[in-house]
Amino acid sequence: MNPYADRKYIIIILILISAFLFIVKLFLMQVVDDQYKLSAESNSRRDVIIYPARGLVYDRNGAILVSNQAAYDIMVVPRQMVSMDTAEFCEVLGIEKQDFIERINKAKDYSYYAPSVFMKQVSAEISSVFSEKLFLYQGFYLQSRTLRKYPKNIASHVLGYVGEVNKSIVENSDYYVSGDYIGISGIEKTYEDILRGEKGHKYFLVDVHNRITGQWESGKYDEQALLGTDIILTIDNELQEYGEKLMSAFSGSIVAIEPQTGEILSLVSAPSYPPDLLVGRGLSENFKKLAGDTLNPVFNRAVAASYPPGSTFKIINGLIALEEKVLTPYSEYSCNMGYYYRGIHVGCHSHDSPLDFEGAVQNSCNAYFCNVLRNILEDKKFQRTDSAFSNWKTHVESFGFGNRLGTDVSGELKGFVPSTSYYNRYYGSGHWNFLTVLSLSIGQGELGITPLQMANMSATLANRGHYFVPHLIKAFGNDKKIDPKYKEKHSTTIDSTLFELAVNGMDLVVNGAKGSTARIAKMNDIVICGKTGTAENPFGEDHSIFIAFAPKDDPQIAIAVYVENVGFGASWAAPIASLMIEKYLTKELTRSWLESYILNGPQKIKKEEE
Amino acid sequence: MKRGNILANLDWATVLLYLIMVVLGWLNIYSATFSERSAELFDFSQRHGKQFLWILAAIIIAIAILIIDHKFYDFFAYGFYSLAIILLLLVLIIGKEINGAQSWIIIGGVQIQPSELAKPAVAIALARYLSGYNLKIDQLKTYITAGIIIFTPALLILLQPDTGSALVFFVFILVAFREGFSVSLLLILIALIVLFLLSLIFEKIILLTIILSLGVLILGLITKNYKRVILTILILVGSFLLIFGVNFLSGWGQSMIRIMILSLTVSAFVFLILVFSYRLRKSAFILGFTTIAIFYVFAVDFVFENVLDPYQQRRINIVLGLESDPQGAGYNLAQSKIAIGSGGFFGKGFLNGTQTKLNFVPEQSTDFIFCTVGEEWGFAGSVVVILLFVALLLRLVQLAERQRYKFARIYGYGVFSVLFFHFFVNIAMTIGLFPVVGIPLPFFSYGGSSLWAFTILLFIFLKLDASRMEHIN
């Protein structure tokens, strides 16, 4: 016999002990302990997701831009439904019987046992009536949600909107589940993680009558929801509202920045839409309408439209030439209605001639700046046009052109500054010279600059040579610690003392005597410095452009105004900028004639002409 | 008994138990996947429909096994084993990943899980090796070779990674134990590891009870003095009742764990006096071990809480399945316990379970099929299922012991061990006595590969058993 046969008893005992252990444990769980079955039969657990309220959004003065309103989703668990008065049910919710059947079938297709949304975002009024009758409708319950509310109903492009997560977000995230909300554009998108908070879960026991009988596992598995954090924006709501009002007759954009900090005071893209259009159940339908509009109101022109900067760019070219010492402030160039060279002609308007740098800025002389660009690109320091051009590009980019500034306004574009290789590709290396790219001298040609970049240029001039990345965020709740990149000073490659010359020229543009291009923007007691621009546009009338800052010696606001297809910079953009500056600095408006001229817009004038 | 007549020699009791379990399993899978929209019993797009096909295939496999000559299994033991190893290597290269583990091979539309087939392969190879002529069981070489046979597949499965399936192979130590491996060293080692893990998982009260019971059991087995065992139990129970009574009557308000520790201290005193007065060496030894084990349990807790860094604690918890679940530690387990606990004495009735149908319990038709049993058939049904397993396991031990041919006996123990491990770990995890390890309940859980593997395992043994008379000479 096998010497170890006795060991089989140990094995048998092992079996018996295991079985005994199981039976005892099962007896305790199933018969003795009744924590698992508070009401004897068919207890169900209900997972109620606690959606935290999103953080509120304030402007720089503490006015609420975005708040929350309550809404309820009606949930259904098809398996728990019993026969009920469907007609009354439909009446309460204001739906047709057919609609009811379709919704139920959709829920059944999803799951018999798991809850799904029967009806989304029911108003507080309907849901209060519904909740009184809830006991009649077994299988249904209400889940509270919060929707956005816009007390001022302005700044839609800044704020963006909140919508339901799409499938790809759900698949690529371990936080979002189908039905959750997420910031889709604007600061709702940029600061989603801060605004959203954290969802919580509450687990309840529900009896066969759809009543909550208590907490499941005494709340051990509940997860507390974390409220979203409020954020404070740099936007000035009054200035923003005023800007939107001024632009109501136009397409285009206004961006105003506080130069010392880079804080965006107002960011207008016109045409706009009231933000409350994109809330709740109307969202998808309204969005379709907005997206189908030929003027494209959902498009944020302030950061996503790339325009030629026109004559405003002359200042940059002048500064580069001064920095490279290929131009002195006293160099004069004559202008005889334009610039002529080897058969090329760039036209100019009638003004005094010859002019020095300040005068050329004041009069926006094309011929002068053609000479400036020629000096830059034919600089003896550089062997070839290529390298002189690369040097020019480095200077231009130091103003924040041609790259994303890194702002927190969502959807920012880079704009475009052509490179040496860009022209080499077109004309071949060595086969192009300053004449080929002459239009760059007056801010035309391939240049593409966003209104935000233009406003940033204005702030850089106001600061005499440096800027802070324009941004919308001022604080998170009480926490003033924002991203350090917004506190970082970016200096241009131009010596800061040279800026004074440019600023003097810009002073003359508004406040000079004969030849000043934007006297319409002049204010009596505040010195505005500005520069007009009129960008040619192959698709229609010229764009009207104006950059400005004020006051000259202690700039509080720097602004860029871009108005599409309305003609000279001085005609529309300059007065708009001037009104915005007045609104911000004095809080009151003294030039009602100018205001009504803008509010009536070009259409009105045209009509009168006819 | 006639030679060669397979029908006459087959152990029909085992076959019957097998059939009952498979059918019960199928009914529970039907219930677990049941919904009003897929009520058709033979809907082959549903799991219950597919399982029906798997069962038919399993029966065909069983018949084929019974027809093949019994010498085949002995002869091709290593071939079978090599095949399993090749498949395990192959799955690492061309396997399909499901639930984060690369453990499936698809051959002509059929998905197979090589880790399941490795179980019968190891059982048969181990039996072949340990039944070899001239094999000296208590030698280092034997230990190492057996170790390699057992743990090579386990290692390959761990690479998939499928920790649950890899763990199963530890159970072959039981076979080695029955065949006479010296166990004391092994046992102490295993005991320390197991105790470490257990003390993190279980509440102290349960663990103390287990340690004491084992202590008493070993005492009885080694001394073979049943009077002494009874006396020990009396002392333990007596001191417990004494302290408990005092606490209850006086309103002392001590916690259960304190009462137990106090009564243990009292018992230890009594034992100490007895041991010294009667010079009971063996008893002293065992009592010493039991005491050390109890201290060890508390020490583990202390080390875990105070010495390990939080991230180390987390890692251990994740390994133990205490923190693996993204929905919060113990979510699956809690769901499983609710489902079973809500079943009551007689259960909610066939198809009336709500917990298991709300998809609260993940893997409810595979690893957590016992939830459906517990919820719908209640305590009564659960006990029936447990007793069915006990009957099968006891019968397997009985069959193994009656083999005259060593190969058959060792293989029989292999079959027993695998089934026992699955039975124990699966049910223990669903009722919260063991961390959640993803292994199926034999014959009950949904899945072709596991059903076939258990069928192959069992019916090879039944074939060997039916042919045992042919080894008389």
pLDDT for position B306: 66
Strand A57-58 with A231-233, pairing: parallel
pLDDT for position A134: 82
In A, which residues are within 8 Å of B427 by CB distance? 22
Contact assignment for B334 to A217 by CB distance below 8 Å? yes
B-chain residue closest to A27, CA distance: B379
B127 located within any domain: yes
Q: At A452, is the pLDDT very low, low, confident or very high (cuts 50, 70, 90)?
A: very high
Q: Is B338 on the interface with A (CB under 8 A)?
A: yes
Cβ atoms within 10 Å, residue A363? 25
Q: B150 lies in which domain range?
A: 6-182+386-460
Instruction: Give which of A387, A372, A377 is closest to A429, Cα–Cα.
Output: A387
Instruction: Give which of B400, B393, B462 is closest to B127, Cα–Cα.
Output: B400
Contact assignment for B379 to A26 by CB distance below 8 Å? yes
pLDDT for position A609: 44
CATH number of A237-275+299-609: 3.40.710.10
Chain B nearest C-alpha distance from A68 (Å)? 29
Residue of B37, B135, B186, B338 best to disrupt the A interface, most CBs of A under 10 A: B338
B249 located within any domain: yes
Q: Is B174 on the interface with A (CB under 8 A)?
A: yes
Chain B nearest C-alpha distance from A53 (Å)? 22
Q: Is B151 on the interface with A (CB under 8 A)?
A: no
Asked if residue B40 and residue B127 are part of one domain, the reply reads yes
pLDDT for position B231: 79
Q: At B430, is the pLDDT very low, low, confident or very high (cuts 50, 70, 90)?
A: confident
B393 located within any domain: yes
pLDDT one-digit tens code per residue, B374-415 = 888 989 999 999 999 999 999 999 999 988 888 999 999 999
Asked if residue B164 and residue B266 are part of one domain, the reply reads no
pLDDT one-digit tens code per residue, B12-70 = 999 999 999 999 999 888 887 765 555 666 667 777 888 899 999 999 999 999 998 88
Residue of A2, A12, A23, A30 best to disrupt the B interface, most CBs of B under 10 A: A30
CB A523 within 8 A of CB A537: no
What does the alpha-carbon distance between residue A222 and residue B327 come to, in Å, rounded to a whole number? Answer: 11
Closest in A2, A25, A37 to B342, CB measured: A37
Asked if residue B174 and residue B47 are part of one domain, the reply reads yes
Give me the phi and psi of A119, to 5 degrees please. Answer: -150, 135
pLDDT for position B225: 72
All structural domains of chain A with their residue ranges: 45-233, 237-275+299-609
pLDDT one-digit tens code per residue, A367-391 = 999 999 999 999 888 888 889 999 9
What does the alpha-carbon distance between residue A30 and residue B374 come to, in Å, rounded to a whole number? Answer: 8
Average pLDDT over residues A353-363: 90
Does position A566 have pLDDT exceeding 70, yes or no?
Answer: yes
Q: At A350, is the pLDDT very low, low, confident or very high (cuts 50, 70, 90)?
A: confident
In B, which residues are within 8 Å of A217 by CB distance? 334, 338
Q: Which of B307, B337, B365 is the last residue of a domain?
A: B307
pLDDT one-digit tens code per residue, B314-353 = 555 655 655 544 444 355 666 777 778 878 888 777 776 6
Asked if residue B409 and residue B301 are part of one domain, the reply reads no
pLDDT one-digit tens code per residue, A211-268 = 666 776 677 778 888 889 999 999 999 999 999 999 998 999 999 999 999 999 999 9
Contact assignment for A221 to B382 by CB distance below 8 Å? no
Closest in A2, A25, A221 to B433, CB measured: A25
In A, which residues are within 8 Å of B37 by CB distance? 108, 112
Asked if residue B219 and residue B143 are part of one domain, the reply reads no
How many structural domains compose chain B?
A: 2
pLDDT for position B244: 82
Helix (H) or strand (E) holding A283: helix A283-292
Chain B nearest C-alpha distance from A481 (Å)? 30
Chain A nearest C-alpha distance from B36 (Å)? 8
**Tokens 């720089």 identify what position?**
A60
Asked if residue B174 and residue B48 are part of one domain, the reply reads yes
Q: Is B182 on the interface with A (CB under 8 A)?
A: no
Chain B nearest C-alpha distance from A23 (Å)? 6
Average pLDDT over residues B73-83: 91
Does position B275 have pLDDT exceeding 80, yes or no?
Answer: no
CB A161 within 8 A of CB A290: no
Closest in B213, B328, B342 to A43, CB measured: B342
Q: Is B465 on the interface with A (CB under 8 A)?
A: no
* Cross-strand pairs, A145: A71
pLDDT one-digit tens code per residue, B202-215 = 766 777 777 777 77
Single-letter residue type at A273: Y
In B, which residues are within 8 Å of A35 by CB distance? 341
Asked if residue B160 and residue B25 are part of one domain, the reply reads yes
Instruction: Give which of A358, A469, A491, A339 is closest to A403, Cα–Cα.
Output: A469
Asked if residue B274 and residue B241 are part of one domain, the reply reads yes
What counts of helices (H) and strands (E) characterise chain B? 19, 3
B346 located within any domain: no
B312 located within any domain: no
Contact assignment for B334 to A3 by CB distance below 8 Å? no
A-chain residue closest to B406, CA distance: A2
Average pLDDT over residues A392-399: 95
> Which of B 428-457 lie inside 8 A of A, CB atoms?
428, 431-433
In A, which residues are within 8 Å of B401 by CB distance? 5, 8
Does position B425 have pLDDT exceeding 70, yes or no?
Answer: yes
Asked if residue B178 and residue B33 are part of one domain, the reply reads yes
Q: Which of B307, B329, B361 is the last residue of a domain?
A: B307
Least confident segment among A221-235, A342-356, B102-116, B179-193:
B179-193
- For Cα atoms B405, B406, B409, give the angle at the middle one, nearest 5 degrees: 95
What topology does CATH give the domain A45-233?
A: Penicillin-binding protein 2a (Domain 2) (3.90.1310)
Contact assignment for A108 to B174 by CB distance below 8 Å? no
Q: Is B351 on the interface with A (CB under 8 A)?
A: no
B-chain residue closest to A10, CA distance: B221
Chain B nearest C-alpha distance from A198 (Å)? 14
Residue of A2, A10, A15 best to disrupt the B interface, most CBs of B under 10 A: A15
Contact assignment for B341 to A35 by CB distance below 8 Å? yes
B365 located within any domain: no
Chain A nearest C-alpha distance from B344 (Å)? 5
Asked if residue B280 and residue B252 are part of one domain, the reply reads yes
Contact assignment for A44 to B358 by CB distance below 8 Å? yes
Cis omega (within 30 of 0) for bond into A551: yes
**Which percentage of chain A shows pLDDT scores above 70?**
94
Q: Is B326 on the interface with A (CB under 8 A)?
A: yes
pLDDT for position A408: 93
* Beta strand extents in A51-156 (DSSP E only): 57-58, 64-76, 116-122, 140-149
* Cross-strand pairs, A232: A58, A475
Average pLDDT over residues A199-210: 71
Whether the CA torsion A216, A217, A218, A222 is positive or negative: it is negative
Q: Which of B307, B328, B343 is the last residue of a domain?
A: B307
Contact assignment for A29 to B378 by CB distance below 8 Å? no
In B, which residues are within 8 Å of A11 by CB distance? 174, 178, 397, 416
Asked if residue B259 and residue B212 are part of one domain, the reply reads yes
pLDDT for position A195: 93
In B, which residues are within 8 Å of A222 by CB distance? none
What does the alpha-carbon distance between residue A488 and residue A406 come to, in Å, rounded to a whole number? Answer: 12
Cβ-based contacts under 8 A for chains A and B: 122
Closest in B341, B397, B424 to A8, CB measured: B397
Chain B nearest C-alpha distance from A2 (Å)? 9
Give me the phi and psi of A244, to 5 degrees please. Answer: -65, -35
> Which of B 184-223 lie inside 8 A of A, CB atoms?
213, 217, 221
B414 located within any domain: yes
Contact assignment for B394 to A12 by CB distance below 8 Å? yes
pLDDT one-digit tens code per residue, A51-90 = 888 999 999 999 999 999 888 888 888 877 878 888 888 8
CB B418 within 8 A of CB B457: yes
CB A511 within 8 A of CB A528: yes
> Which of B 49-78 lie inside 8 A of A, CB atoms?
none
Rounded to 10 deg, the angle between the A451-462 and A499-511 helix axes is 110
pLDDT for position A40: 35
pLDDT one-digit tens code per residue, B140-169 = 788 888 888 988 898 888 777 677 788 888
Q: Is B245 on the interface with A (CB under 8 A)?
A: no
Asked if residue B73 and residue B169 are part of one domain, the reply reads yes
Does position A493 have pLDDT exceeding 90, yes or no?
Answer: yes
Q: At A494, is the pLDDT very low, low, confident or very high (cuts 50, 70, 90)?
A: very high
Contact assignment for A17 to B213 by CB distance below 8 Å? yes
Closest in A15, A30, A36 to B393, CB measured: A15
What does the alpha-carbon distance between residue A77 and residue A361 come to, in Å, rounded to a whole number? Answer: 72
**Which percentage of chain A shows pLDDT scores above 90?**
47
